[in-house]
């Protein structure tokens, strides 16, 4: 059971929903899933007896954006967000006994319909793993991605009336918050 | 006859009512000092003992090496603190509450004898009075909780109400046992009946009293809200429970009330079960014979008895401190379970057992050993009830000595020892009679 | 005269009790820092618990996007500030995984010593603070008495007592000083019997058992679903410990060490025979089991440190020279979880090829562990809420980051 195996299985089962993969990356390899197919793929990964990814370790959003236009030209990518899901299993292990995990990625534009201020939407996996509830709230709070179908999507770490999403690269710290100097 | 304080004052030319007021104030002042200074000492002791239990030193600086004056320094700090009444609080009740608690704890002390004749109010229903007034303390707590306008305080108050009301039942049952063994509710008489060697103490009267003593201790700890039954203030759940919103002096009144009742409950245990003011070896009564000697010697004997009582009570308080710093806290339902499923049945069982013991095998007790190891309780009680020597008449030590091991009450009734001052049950003697040395 | 009871709702309305919203925290003695729980209670029964976080939030991840990995090490200290060494280790290994940096054996054994000592220190606080939550104060101080000795050892090794920044990417900031290993062994010899004291005061105390056994029960499916890890996961009977099941770069540190994962199998813990048996009231997955797993992990850690000291003495190589402060990182991304005392602490590092990473992410174990609160506290008594939250052993610094 390896990542390659898993990729092939997923491709065979979900076809177009699997957008691609990087299996030779430095560090962790990953599999790209379309937003539309995410919940289905996750459900399969969790419940299929061959894989049993019952632990959702982490949900991260990586902001690929470069505020400096000079650097942006050299960056080699269009601005976008990557929602990264790290899954692992407490049931299944590699043959050598080490941890068995997979990285799923969903690519999404930085703003919905390219309109600044419109947060992009990704389906919620809270129905698959209950831990996704808080992770998605955190991700929404800090990186500004709306998880559609989430039971209770509100800020978790920042105050409820906080403006902006701090982990976005173009975020600017407010000058003042309830009379507290920000910068 | 002993000259009383009232006699002394009237003979000095004071009008009679004023003399009685002054007479009433003297024990009040003495007892308020006992409660306040007791609290001072026990708070210091609690800090030292808990410190030692926890590998710390406790206070070491204020007032010398052992931090003697730490509580006094705290008291000054508390007095200096701002007296805050929360905006949401019912201001009047909020202010009254600590005094209600303190007053209850203090008033119960009035009926406690410290030695024969040494009590603020020598009552023939002292046991009843003490329990009843001690139960009033809960009103202060409930008032505090309700009037604070804080939810945590309310939780604390409701818990306290539930807990104290439940524990009154087994506590009452436990207390009834020494009462019926002695046949009196007068604490002085109960104390006097345990005269002689430690074998006469009621805890060793029969297996049931031994058993019920521990039930009493458990219920006593619960009724004064000490750990593991300190649910009303449970700091890890309710922040500080009923006194969450209190600060400064008012808060310290709650504290004083708590320590006052701790000492009271353990003093009651000592009087009822542990020989009251009698030591395990009767040095003063039998060894030296001072107790009945009257005059200065009798006074000294009483003083030693008083010290004895306070020492034993303090040991009880230390046990409470020890328990507090060792055990985790119970949950409210477990506290109620402990009361209703264990304490009440146990106390009832002991009650019936002791009753049966009294009825069928009253002589198979350490108290029925030959004197001075044992005493004839019936004889003592009879002498108190039937004595014809007037309100100041009392039992003589004669009946306790081997020569008169089986005294005849009617002959004893004529014996009257002048340095004793105990009113007969139902007598019309002025309450609160106090001797002057 | 008699009121009609035809309509049952009339009676129900008459005896209805009001629910009350109570705010527990952020300044509350038993919320372990600045957690705020909004409780909906009906008398003593809690019908709903809503945790509110973020009072310690400082967006360490954003700070990490502006610092090189070595500069960010001190920020990891401040996450789980009770086990700073383990946080350092997690981050160091994550960076090393990206750099494909190999450590000498000596450096690995040093890390085992330090990490397991950190685990002992952390579990001691967890144990003591749990006693506080249940209303007993003394075990807390007994725990701190021993923890102080560990902190003294740490201070000698790195100069700090709380925020160590000792294990850094590349190795450690310095070798262990002369004589440190002897002091460490002496401490372990002294400490091991002390654990019996804790068992006497807490584990086997009947009030403690009453307060924790069969309270806050979570089955294996529920804990994994909520992403709970560490003692919470193992307390529910899931045999999963990253020191054995983790990624290679982490498990090779523990290669050839003899240790058993502390988890109940067939009704028995690996060390049941020398330590108090499981009381019959306890149910797998309750507060008592979580506590017990921590206590046994302390024993396990003692054993591991002893083995590591032996190996360290005879190992070759250096203690691990830290990487350059501004070392360029290869383009790529790594995610690595390590077994910190409170669960699996994960770090995610995305690099563009500069020395400053594009994205740094800390996956907090306590964050996931805490997320079960509202589910597991529902229907509990008010006094059980601190007991349950305490048994999860959360550190707000790590949750809020």
Query: Given an 8 Å threshold on Cβ–Cβ distance, is A157 in contact with C53?
Result: yes
Is B418 within the bounds of a domain? Answer: no
Query: Given an 8 Å threshold on Cβ–Cβ distance, is A134 in contact with C368?
Result: yes
pLDDT, tens digit (0-9, with 9 covering 90-100), for B241-292: 788 888 888 888 888 888 888 888 999 999 888 888 887 777 766 666 666 6
Query: Given an 8 Å threshold on Cβ–Cβ distance, is A93 in contact with C348?
Result: no
C401 touches chain A (CB under 8 A): yes
Average pLDDT of every residue of chain C: 86
Best interface-test mutation with B: which of C31, C32, C136 has the largest number of B CBs within 10 A? C136
Q: Is the pLDDT of residue B424 over 60?
A: no
> Would you call C328 helix, strand, or coil by DSSP?
coil
Q: How far apart are CA C392 and CA C399, in angstroms?
A: 12
% helix / strand / coil in chain A, to the nearest 5?
25, 25, 50
Query: Given an 8 Å threshold on Cβ–Cβ distance, is A57 in contact with C227?
Result: yes
C 227-246 → A contacts, CB under 8 A: 227-229, 233, 238-240, 242, 244-246
User: In which domain, by residue range, is B254 found?
Assistant: 81-412
Is B127 within the bounds of a domain? Answer: yes
Question: Residue B261's closest CA among B239, B241, B232, B286?
Answer: B232
Cβ partners under 8 Å of residue A115, min gap 6: none
Q: How far apart are CA B289 and CA B295, in angstroms?
A: 12
Q: Which residue numbers of C have CB closer than 8 Å to B's CBs?
A: 20, 22, 28-30, 43-44, 131-138, 141-142, 145, 201-202, 205, 207-208, 210-211, 381-386
| Chain C: residue whose CA lies nearest to B329 | C135
**Separation in Å, CA of B341 to nearest CA in chain C:** 15
Are C225 and C339 within 8 A, CB to CB?
no
Are B171 and B113 within 8 A, CB to CB?
no
Q: How far apart are CA B30 and CA B14, in angstroms?
A: 22
Query: Given an 8 Å threshold on Cβ–Cβ distance, is B328 in contact with C30?
Result: no
| Chain A: residue whose CA lies nearest to C369 | A131
Residue-level pLDDT at A3: 57
Confidence of residue C123 (pLDDT cuts 50, 70, 90): very high
Is B30 within the bounds of a domain? Answer: no
How many CB atoms are located within 10 Å of the residue B199 CB?
19
Q: Is the pLDDT of residue B239 over 50?
A: yes
Mean predicted confidence (pLDDT) in B99-126: 83
Residue-level pLDDT at B426: 39
Residue-level pLDDT at B393: 39
Q: How far apart are CA B216 and CA B2, in angstroms?
A: 37
Is B49 within the bounds of a domain? Answer: no
* CA distance between the termini of chain C: 66
Q: How far apart are CA A78 and CA B68, in angstroms?
A: 75
Residue-level pLDDT at C121: 92
Pairing outcome for strands C359-363 and C343-351: antiparallel
Q: Which of C20, C210, C386 is closest, CB to CB, to B334?
A: C210
Query: Given an 8 Å threshold on Cβ–Cβ distance, is C359 in contact with A138?
Result: no
Residue-level pLDDT at C187: 92
Residue-level pLDDT at C333: 86
Residue-level pLDDT at B364: 60
Residue-level pLDDT at B375: 59
Q: Is the pLDDT of residue B407 over 50?
A: no
**Looking at the domain that runs over A3-181, which CATH code has it been given?**
3.30.460.80
Is B33 within the bounds of a domain? Answer: no
Are C332 and C98 within 8 A, CB to CB?
yes
Q: Which of C20, C22, C131 is closest, CB to CB, to B328?
A: C131
Q: Chains touching chain A at 3 or more Cβ pairs under 8 angstroms?
A: C
Are C70 and C366 within 8 A, CB to CB?
no
Question: Residue B236's closest CA among C287, A141, C335, C387?
Answer: C387
**Separation in Å, CA of C157 to nearest CA in chain A:** 32
A55 - beta bridge partners?
A88
Q: What percent of chain C has pLDDT over 90?
A: 15
| Chain B: residue whose CA lies nearest to C385 | B237
Residue-level pLDDT at C324: 84
**Separation in Å, CA of C374 to nearest CA in chain B:** 17
Query: Given an 8 Å threshold on Cβ–Cβ distance, is B237 in contact with C382?
Result: yes
A115 touches chain C (CB under 8 A): no
A103 touches chain C (CB under 8 A): yes
Residue-level pLDDT at A25: 64
Query: Given an 8 Å threshold on Cβ–Cβ distance, is B151 in contact with C138?
Result: no
Residue-level pLDDT at C4: 53
Find the range with the poorest average confidence among B7-11, B392-396, C104-108: B392-396
**Separation in Å, CA of A157 to nearest CA in chain C:** 4
Q: Which of B158, B325, B334 is closest, CB to CB, to C138?
A: B325
H or E element that contains B307: helix B295-324
| Chain C: residue whose CA lies nearest to B237 | C383
C 344-363 → A contacts, CB under 8 A: 344, 346, 348-350, 352, 358-359, 361, 363
Q: Which domains does chain C have, with CATH numbers?
A: 69-320+384-392 (1.10.645.10)
Residue-level pLDDT at B8: 77
| Chain C: residue whose CA lies nearest to B333 | C381
Is B20 within the bounds of a domain? Answer: no
Q: Is the pLDDT of residue C3 over 70?
A: no
Q: How far apart are CA B174 and CA B176, in angstroms?
A: 5
What is the CB-side half-sphere exposure of residue B359 using CA atoms within 13 A? 6
Residue-level pLDDT at B33: 84
Q: Is the pLDDT of residue B422 over 70?
A: no
Query: Given an 8 Å threshold on Cβ–Cβ distance, is B330 in contact with C210?
Result: yes
Chain mean position to CA A11: 20
pLDDT, tens digit (0-9, with 9 covering 90-100), for A121-162: 888 888 888 888 899 999 998 888 888 888 888 888 888 888
pLDDT, tens digit (0-9, with 9 covering 90-100), for B282-330: 776 666 666 666 677 777 878 888 888 889 999 999 998 888 888 888 8
Mean predicted confidence (pLDDT) in C368-378: 88
Task: Tell me how many domains chain B contains.
Answer: 1
| Chain A: residue whose CA lies nearest to C361 | A60
pLDDT, tens digit (0-9, with 9 covering 90-100), for B143-182: 888 888 888 888 888 888 888 888 888 988 889 888 888 8
Residues of chain A with pLDDT under 70: 1-4, 24-27, 94-99
Q: Which residues from C are below 8 Å from B228, CB to CB?
A: 135, 207
Query: Given an 8 Å threshold on Cβ–Cβ distance, is C346 in contact with A86?
Result: yes
Q: What percent of chain C has pLDDT over 70?
A: 95
Q: Which residues from A are below 8 Å from C359, CB to CB?
A: 60, 62-63, 167
Mean predicted confidence (pLDDT) in C180-208: 89
Is B27 within the bounds of a domain? Answer: no
Q: How far apart are CA C79 and CA C64, in angstroms?
A: 13
Alpha helix positions (H), B325-375: 332-337, 344-360
Q: Which residues from C are below 8 Å from B88, CB to CB?
A: none
Q: Is the pLDDT of residue B431 over 70?
A: no
Q: Which residues from C are below 8 Å from A129, CB to CB?
A: 225-227
Query: Rg of chain B over CA atoms, in angstroms?
Result: 23
Is B417 within the bounds of a domain? Answer: no
- Tokens 């939030």 — which residue? C57
Question: Residue C32's closest CA among C132, C121, C161?
Answer: C132
Q: Is the pLDDT of residue B240 over 80?
A: no
Residue-level pLDDT at B418: 40
ipTM for this prediction:
0.86
Residue-level pLDDT at C153: 92
Q: Is the pLDDT of residue B411 over 50?
A: no
């Amino acid at each position: 059971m390896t990542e390659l195996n898993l990729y092939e299985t997923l491709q065979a089962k979900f076809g177009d929903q699997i957008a691609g993969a990087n299996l030779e990356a430095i560090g962790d390899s990953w599999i790209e899933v379309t937003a539309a197919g995410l919940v289905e793929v996750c459900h399969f990964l969790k419940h299929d007896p061959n894989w049993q990814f019952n632990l959702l370790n982490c949900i991260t959003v990586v902001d690929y954006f470069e505020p400096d236009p000079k650097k942006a030209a050299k960056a080699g990518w269009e601005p976008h967000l990557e929602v990264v899901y790290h899954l692992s299993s407490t049931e299944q292990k590699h043959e050598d006994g080490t941890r068995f995990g997979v990285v799923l990625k969903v690519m999404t534009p930085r703003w919905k319909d390219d309109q600044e201020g419109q947060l992009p939407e990704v389906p919620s996996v809270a129905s698959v793993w209950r831990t996704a509830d808080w992770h998605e709230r955190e991700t929404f709070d800090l990186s500004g991605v709306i998880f559609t179908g989430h039971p209770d999507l509100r800020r978790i770490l920042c105050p409820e009336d906080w403006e902006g999403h701090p982990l976005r690269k173009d975020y600017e710290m407010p000058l003042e918050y309830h009379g507290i100097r920000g910068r | 006859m002993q000259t009383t304080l009232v006699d002394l004052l009237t003979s000095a030319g004071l009008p009679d009512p004023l003399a009685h007021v002054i007479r009433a104030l003297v024990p009040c002042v003495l007892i308020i000092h006992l409660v306040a200074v007791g609290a001072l000492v026990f708070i210091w002791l609690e800090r030292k003992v808990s410190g030692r239990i926890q590998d710390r030193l406790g206070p070491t600086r204020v007032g010398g090496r052992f931090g003697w004056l730490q509580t006094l320094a705290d008291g000054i700090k508390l007095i200096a603190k701002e007296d805050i009444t929360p905006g949401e609080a019912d201001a009047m009740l909020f202010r009254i509450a600590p005094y209600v608690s303190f007053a209850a704890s203090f008033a119960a002390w009035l009926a406690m004898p410290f030695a024969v004749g040494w009590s603020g109010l020598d009552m023939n229903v002292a046991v009843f009075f003490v329990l009843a007034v001690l139960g009033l303390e809960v009103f202060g707590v409930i008032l505090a909780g309700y009037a604070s306008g804080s939810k945590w305080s309310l939780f604390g108050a409701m818990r306290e109400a539930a807990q104290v009301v439940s524990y009154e039942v087994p506590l009452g049952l436990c207390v009834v046992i020494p009462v019926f063994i002695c046949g009196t509710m007068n604490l002085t008489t109960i104390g006097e009946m345990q005269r002689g060697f430690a074998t006469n103490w009621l805890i060793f009267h029969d297996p049931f009293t031994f058993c019920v003593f521990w039930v009493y201790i458990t219920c006593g700890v619960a009724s004064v809200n000490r750990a593991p039954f300190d649910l009303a203030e449970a700091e890890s759940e309710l922040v500080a429970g009923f006194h969450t919103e209190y600060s400064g002096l008012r808060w310290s009144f709650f504290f004083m009330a708590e320590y006052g009742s701790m000492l009271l409950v353990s003093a009651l245990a000592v009087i009822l079960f542990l020989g009251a003011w009698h030591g395990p070896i009767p040095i003063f009564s039998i060894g030296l014979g001072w107790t009945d000697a009257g005059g200065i010697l009798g006074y000294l004997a009483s003083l030693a008895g008083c010290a004895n009582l306070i020492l034993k009570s303090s040991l009880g308080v230390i046990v409470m401190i020890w328990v507090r710093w060792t055990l985790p806290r119970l949950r409210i339902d477990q506290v109620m379970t402990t009361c209703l499923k264990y304490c009440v049945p146990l106390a009832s069982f002991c009650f019936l057992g002791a009753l049966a013991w009294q009825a069928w095998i009253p002589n198979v007790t350490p108290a029925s050993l030959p004197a001075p190891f044992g005493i004839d309780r019936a004889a003592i009680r009879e002498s108190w009830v039937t004595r014809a020597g007037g309100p100041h008449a009392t039992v003589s030590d004669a009946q306790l000595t081997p020569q008169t091991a089986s005294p005849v009450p009617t002959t004893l009734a004529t014996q009257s020892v002048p340095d004793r001052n105990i009113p007969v049950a139902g007598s019309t003697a002025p309450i609160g009679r106090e001797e002057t040395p | 005269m008699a009121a009609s009871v035809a309509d049952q709702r009339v009676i129900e309305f008459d005896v209805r009790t009001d629910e009350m919203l109570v705010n527990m925290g952020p300044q509350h003695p038993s919320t372990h820092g600045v957690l705020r729980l909004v409780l909906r209670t009906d008398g003593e029964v809690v019908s709903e618990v809503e945790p509110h976080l973020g009072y310690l939030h400082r967006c360490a991840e954003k700070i990490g996007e502006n610092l090189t990995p070595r500069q960010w090490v001190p920020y990891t200290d401040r996450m789980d500030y009770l086990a700073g060494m383990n946080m350092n280790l997690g981050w160091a290994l994550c960076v090393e995984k990206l750099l494909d940096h190999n450590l000498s054996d000596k450096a690995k054994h040093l890390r085992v010593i330090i990490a397991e000592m950190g685990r002992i220190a952390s579990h001691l606080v967890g144990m003591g603070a749990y006693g506080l939550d249940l209303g007993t104060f003394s075990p807390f101080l007994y725990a701190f008495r021993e923890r102080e000795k560990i902190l003294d050892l740490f201070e000698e090794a790195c100069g700090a007592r709380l925020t160590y920044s000792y294990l850094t990417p590349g190795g450690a900031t310095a070798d262990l000083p002369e004589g440190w290993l002897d002091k460490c062994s002496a401490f372990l010899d002294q400490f091991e019997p002390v654990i019996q004291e804790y068992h006497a005061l807490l584990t086997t105390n009947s009030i403690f058992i009453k307060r924790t056994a069969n309270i806050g029960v979570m089955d294996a499916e529920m804990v994994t679903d909520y992403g709970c890890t560490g003692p919470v996961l193992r307390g529910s009977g899931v045999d999963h410990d990253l020191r054995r099941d983790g990624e290679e770069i982490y498990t090779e540190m523990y290669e050839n060490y003899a240790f058993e994962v502390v988890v109940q199998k067939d009704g028995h813990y690996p060390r049941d025979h020398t330590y108090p048996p499981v009381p019959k009231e306890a149910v797998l997955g309750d507060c008592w089991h979580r506590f017990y797993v921590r206590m046994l992990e302390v024993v396990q850690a003692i054993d591991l440190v002893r083995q590591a000291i032996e190996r360290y003495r005879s190992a070759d190589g250096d203690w691990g020279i830290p990487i350059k402060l501004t070392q360029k990182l290869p383009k790529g991304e790594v995610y690595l979880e390590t077994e910190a005392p409170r669960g699996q602490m994960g770090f995610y590092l995305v690099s563009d090829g500069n020395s400053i990473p594009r994205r740094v992410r800390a996956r907090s174990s306590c964050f996931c562990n805490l997320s079960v609160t509202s589910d597991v506290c529902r229907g509990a008594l008010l006094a059980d809420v601190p007991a349950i939250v305490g048994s999860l052993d959360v550190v707000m610094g790590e949750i809020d980051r």
